[in-house]
A and B are shown apart, each in its own frame.
Chain A
Amino acid sequence: MRTIIHHQDATHLLTRIDARVKLFCTLALLVMVLSYRGLAFPLLVAFLGTGLCLALGVRVRLLMARFAQPLFIAAMVLLLKLFTSGHDPLFSCTVAGLEITGYGDGLREGMQIAARIVGAVSVVALVGFSTSFTETMAALAWLRVPRGLIEVALFAWRYLFVLYEDAMVVYHAQRNRLGYAGYRRGLSSFGTLTGALVIKAFDSSQTITTAMVQRGYDGTMPLMRHKPFRLTEVAAALLVVAGLGVLWRI
């Protein structure tokens, strides 16, 4: 949960760019990375993305935590493709009486997918680190994502940390009473914990609604208003996307 909370460098140029422009660039880059057949372009995007994250002031440790799971999956896909896919044997060995063959074409395919994962994760990490959740939701609303989904996401985001705090209080209290000593007991404690969270969610939703109705809530949440597009930002974004588009074609 700590990896979610990132205090952005509000003075950095990337943080100040309109979220809609960033979202457009993200989607364009994702399309290019996903449709590229090879290693060079996704790796270039990964290099640029992680570099910009570091320039934003994101700590290396946080960046590594964000990349840990995708890199693990990339490694697994690489191994799966190497050993189970392809026709061109690269090497073979015997492990515990079992003949294992690695294939060259499988390795190439695996590397392509791994590069795609790293490239795409870098792009999304960059937008995640440089844009607040509220701005992202407002930009999605501008892109005509259904309002109901946006409102639910805003409620979820607002109360996520409150519920998490509550969950941690219950969890630590259970631990202090040996609530997680053994699988059976741990499972029962976890069931109680999540059940308590559900009850809390139901009760809080009533309290929140009452408080909101008293402040004029009529069933729709006001969203952040966008400033008009800045020509320089749009032009720069188009230039970056076009430049990367040329590299993608090469």
Chain B
Amino acid sequence: MAWLACAAPAHAMHIAEGILPLPWAVGWFAVAVPFVALGVRRLNALGREDLSIKPLIGLMAAVVFIISCMPIPVPTAGTCSHPCGTGIAAILVGPLLSILISAVALLIQALFLAHGGLSTLGADIVSMGVVGSFAGWFAFRGMRAMGAGLGLAGFAAGLATDWATYLTTSVELASGIRGDAPFLPLVGRIVLAFVPTQLPLGLLEGAMTAGMVLLLYRKRPDLLVRMKVISQQEGVVHA
């Protein structure tokens, strides 16, 4: 009840340092590591063809870090929260590299801002990096395959990234703090607690991602063509 009354502001997308007991912290690391390894493998493969890929992914990680530090006012809660930013990364560079980007952004946040933590890095990478990136990427590609415009597909990607991240965070939190309490009702309560902020924030993140994609299309369609977000033909039509 208190959780509901306080309608969690701020940085709830990261699971705080120390909240997960050791077995769960290690377990989530075990889930995250193969995905990060795949991301590194993809980065190395692309790096052999294009030397600018590592600086680009590094700079994208800095952008995701900055985006996820920006407070967005949430009208229903009367407070601020912050977006994931992984949706746009997944759209532009694909889900595997987006996982790597999230891992780096989360590591810096854990070390220097105490948002998330080292012991919970695995869990945070799984929710924001793995689930968030794949949800955003599938939503974007799925919508595009169904003939949706860039704006609508971008909106769906932002929305899916945000909500999928929070759903996973709820499961991770419940698994870590449940003690003897039954698992599913606790997940339900935590999801319910996130609703006042995350329901509107997901919509805001969707709108923001759509805005970003449309801005890129208007100003720099060449970048979208280079990252294979739109076809060469679409880029030429726009130019």
Q: Which of B66-74, B131-139, B140-148, B160-168 contacts A (4 or more CB under 8 A)?
A: B66-74
Can you give 21 contacting A-B residue pairs, CB < 8 Å? A4-B108, A4-B113, A34-B21, A34-B22, A76-B3, A79-B3, A80-B189, A81-B179, A84-B181, A85-B178, A85-B181, A118-B18, A120-B119, A121-B18, A148-B39, A164-B66, A188-B211, A192-B215, A195-B212, A204-B59, A219-B48
> Which among A67, A69, A156, A213 is the interface contact of B62 at CB below 8 angstroms?
A156
Kindly identify which residue among A74, A156, A159, A183 contacts B16, using a CB–CB cutoff of 8 Å: A74
List the B residue with the shortest CB-CB distance to A109. Answer: B179
Contacts of B186 in A (CB 8 A): 84-85
Does A104 make an interface contact (CB < 8 A)? no
Which of chain A's residues 134-175 have a Cβ closer than 8 Å to chain B? 136, 146-149, 151-160, 163-164, 167
Let me know if B63 and A163 touch, CB within 8 A. Answer: yes
B60 within 8 A of A: yes
Q: Which of A10-18, A25-33, A224-232, A242-250 contacts B (4 or more CB under 8 A)?
A: A25-33
Cα–Cα distance between A118 and B8 once the two chains are bound (Å) = 19
* A202 CB within 8 Å of chain B: yes
Residue in B51, B62, B110 whose beta carbon sits within 8 Å of that of A217 in the complex = B51
Inter-chain contact A66/B114, CB cutoff 8 Å: yes
Of residues 90 through 114 on chain B, the ones whose CB sits less than 8 Å from some CB of chain A are 92, 100-101, 103-105, 107-108, 110-114
Q: Given contacts A34-B119, A154-B58, is CB(A187)–CB(B51) below 8 Å?
A: no
Compute how far the CA of A79 lies from the CA of B2 in the bound complex, rounded to whole angstroms.
Answer: 6
A43 → B minimal CB distance (Å): 12
- CB nearest neighbor in A for B200: A183
B231 at the interface (CB under 8 A from A): no
Check A125 for interface membership: any CB of B closer than 8 A: yes
Chain B 144-181 interface 0/1 with A at a Cβ cutoff of 8 Å (1 = within): 00000000000000000000000000000000011111
Partner among B10, B25, B108, B215 whose Cβ is within 8 Å of the Cβ of A156: B108
Contact A197 B216 (CB under 8 A): no
Chain A residue nearest to B118 in the complex (CB) = A124
Bound Cα distance A181, B7 (Å) = 24
B110 contacts A191, CB within 8 Å? no
Residue in A closest to B57 when the chains form the complex, CB atoms: A152
**Contacts A157-B108, A187-B204 known; 9 new A-B pairs at CB < 8 A:** A34-B21, A70-B17, A72-B10, A81-B179, A85-B178, A118-B18, A152-B100, A190-B211, A194-B85
Task: Classify the secondary structure of A's interface with B.
Answer: helix
Nearest chain B CB to A8 CB, angstrom units: 12
Number of interface residues of A (CB under 8 A): 86
Residues of B at under 8 Å CB distance from A?
Answer: 1-3, 6, 8, 10-12, 16-22, 25, 36-37, 39-40, 43-44, 47-48, 51-52, 54-63, 65-67, 69-70, 72-73, 75, 85, 88, 92, 100-101, 103-105, 107-108, 110-115, 117-119, 177-181, 186, 189, 193, 204, 207-216, 219-220, 223
User: What residues on A are CB-neighbors of B118 within 8 Å?
Assistant: 26, 30, 124
A118 to B117, CA, bound (A): 12
Q: Is the pair B47, A155 in contact by a Cβ cutoff of 8 Å?
A: no
A148 touches B43 (CB 8 A): yes
Q: A26-B118, A152-B54, A187-B208 are known contacts. Are A117 and B16 too (CB-CB below 8 A)?
A: yes
* Cβ–Cβ contact B117 & A124, under 8 A: yes
Chain A minimum-CB-distance residue to B220: A199
- Specify the main secondary structure of chain B where it touches its partner: helix
Question: Which of these, B44, B101, B103, B208, contacts A191 with CB under 8 Å?
Answer: B208
Decide: B114 and A205 in contact? CB cutoff 8 A: no
Specify the chain B residue showing the minimal Cβ separation from A70: B16
Task: Assess whether A92 is interfacial by the CB under 8 Å rule.
Answer: no
Pair A156/B65 contact, Cβ less than 8 Å: yes
With a 10 A CB-CB cut-off, give which of B12, B21, B39, B114 has the most chain A CB atoms.
B114
Known: A34-B119, A156-B62, A198-B88. A81 touches B18 (CB 8 A): no
Question: CB distance B211 to A192 under 8 Å?
Answer: yes
Asked if A4 meets B112 with Cβ closer than 8 Å, knowing A186-B73, A191-B210, A198-B212, the reply is yes
Decide if A124 touches B17 in the complex (CB within 8 Å): yes
Q: Which residue in B65, B92, B110 is a CB contact (below 8 Å) of A160?
A: B65
Binary contact readout A205-233 vs B (1 if CB under 8 angstroms, 0 otherwise): 11011001100011101000000000000
User: A116 an interface residue at 8 Å Cβ cutoff?
Assistant: yes
- Complex-state Cα separation, A198 to B179, whole angstroms: 43
